[in-house]
Amino acid sequence: MRISSQTFFTRNTTSMMEQQASLSEKNLHLSSTKRVMNGSDDPVAIATIQRLKQDLSIGEQYISNGETAQSSNELSDTALSQSTYILQRVRELMVSGSNGSLNESDRNAVAIELESLRDELMGVANTKDGNNQFIYAGYEVDTQPFQKNEFGEVEYHGDSGEKAYRIGSGVLVQANDAGSKIFMEVAEGNGTFISELGANNTGGGVISAGNIIDENAARDFLDQDYTIAINDTDDGPEYSVYGLKETAVSGNANINISGVDLNGAGIDSVNPAINGPVAINFIETGTDTNQFYIQVNGQTSSSVYDGDNSDTQTLTINGIAIDVNGQPKDGDSFEFAQFVAPTPYEEDQAISFNGIKTQLKGEVEDGDAFTLRQSEEKDIFATIQSAIDALRIPGNDDKTLAQMNTAFNMSLLQIDGALDNVTSTQSAVGARLRTIDNQYESTLDFNLIVQRTLSNLEDLDMAAAISEYQQQYSMLEVSQQTFVQLQNLSLFKLI
């Protein structure tokens, strides 16, 4: 068969180009150190490789999320440690400030330091992270969460949002805590009752916190506020215990029995010891929707409660003194009952009723009243301010010391509650950090296994690949030299 020079040239050129392409591909594999770069390199392995790369990418994202969550929690842990130190110092000052030997100047010095600590705590509560975002603002990270209003009260401007990051398959870890939960939602008193003195007390008596000693007996009576009223008799002071609870209330008025004068004119008509539980009702005057009479067992007050006046107002009906503030509605009704009949008062005597126990100490006077009010929530800044206000009550008489000590006792309980809030949150932060560390190690181990498997499927055997490359390169050189030599086999060379 006759082969033309053109055919010979074309075939050899094509062969050398194919060898060069193959050599170039081997060079790419060598430079990338990868055996499989395209689906055509290993159609079976490529699907597994892509899945493993996706798993590796997810694992790396878990690690990145964990680092972000760890940074946030570590910053919070530091802020909570600072808060604990501040609150412990506040507690120390409150204990020292309650010392009856301090004069007004000494108490004012303690109050000044408490003001400084309150502001310092507010600064900690407004801590920012490295992105200039507030860590205790919930989702409102660009809004300063704790701000003072025009009355000097601290308000929370964040929300209750809590961010979470996925740091592993099925593992979410919280990265922040809402500041409202830590600093604002602190139970008053001991969490069940808060003890208060009547505003018109003249004696030096103080009341301890109300504690539950029989949960079964107390279960149906924890929805009430209690008043311990003092009355003088020929045989000495006696105390009586009364309870007050809501029966039908749609308004926002707060009422408190601030005195029960068993010697008062007309007391028999409103005394629950004689009439059984009696109703206390708000009745609109008819001339103004914010003006109300108060009725006790059908007996109407001579004075009017002014709902437009934000101050606490006292109305007296036949010996029953009622403190009122807030905005009531027409028809709001409360029930007033006696639980302990007049009993001779003895200092330091325990007073028990409805599964509840408290104690009165100090000299009491006729008309004094002591209240066990249902505990609500109070922010820690207001608690410190209450202690500051107590320290600045003028005077050193028994009445002043009683007011100050009672305020201190309740504030101390709330400081302990705030410390519990902070330490429990810090414990939760510590648990999160431990979870992040454990998951980080687990993810690293998983990624290592994936990388090893991926390497077995994808990586190039460098020794074999270099050998093949050299062999291919040698074959190309031989082909090129042969082609050159064959090109010289032409009759034209002999002319």
Question: What are 401-458's pLDDT values in tens digits?
Answer: 888 888 888 888 899 989 999 999 999 999 999 999 998 888 888 778 777 776 666 6
Q: What is the pLDDT of residue 411?
A: 87
Look up residue 225 and give its amino acid: D
- Tokens 């593992």 correspond to what residue? 171
458's tokens: 């994808």
CB of 243 within 8 A of CB of 382? Answer: no
Q: Is the pLDDT of residue 50 over 80?
A: no
Q: What is the pLDDT of residue 26?
A: 59
- Identify the H or E element spanning 203: none
Distance between CA atoms of 350 and 344, rounded to whole angstroms?
12
CB of 110 within 8 A of CB of 391? Answer: yes
Instruction: Give residue-wise pLDDT tens across range 183-219.
Output: 999 988 888 999 999 888 899 999 998 899 999 999 9
Task: For the beta carbon of residue 456, count every other beta carbon within 10 angstroms.
Answer: 10
Q: How confident is the model at residue 390 (pLDDT cuts 50, 70, 90)?
A: confident
- Strand 186-187 to 377-378 pairing: antiparallel
Q: Do you know the residue count of the chain?
A: 495
Q: How confident is the model at residue 16 (pLDDT cuts 50, 70, 90)?
A: low
Q: Is the pLDDT of residue 76 over 90?
A: yes
CB of 84 within 8 A of CB of 422? Answer: yes
What mean pLDDT comes out for the span 383-403? 85
32's tokens: 């990338």
346's tokens: 């003895």
Instruction: Give residue-wise pLDDT tens across range 224-256.
Output: 999 999 999 988 999 999 999 999 999 999 999
What mean pLDDT comes out for the span 38-63? 70
Listed in order, the ranges of the chain carrying CATH 1.20.1330.10 are: 34-191+376-459
297's tokens: 């067992």
CB of 167 within 8 A of CB of 442? Answer: no
Backbone angles phi, psi at 132, to 5 degrees: 65, 35
293's tokens: 């009479």
Q: How confident is the model at residue 143 (pLDDT cuts 50, 70, 90)?
A: very high
Range scoring the smallest mean pLDDT among 32-36, 82-86, 307-311, 421-425: 32-36
Model-wide pTM > 0.75 = yes
Q: Is the pLDDT of residue 48 over 50?
A: yes
- Strand 236-248 to 225-233 pairing: antiparallel
Please tell me the class of the 34-191+376-459 domain. mainly alpha
% of the chain at pLDDT higher than 70: 81
What mean pLDDT comes out for the span 298-327? 92
Residue 427, SS3?
Answer: helix
CA-nearest of 459, 453, 475 to 41 is 459
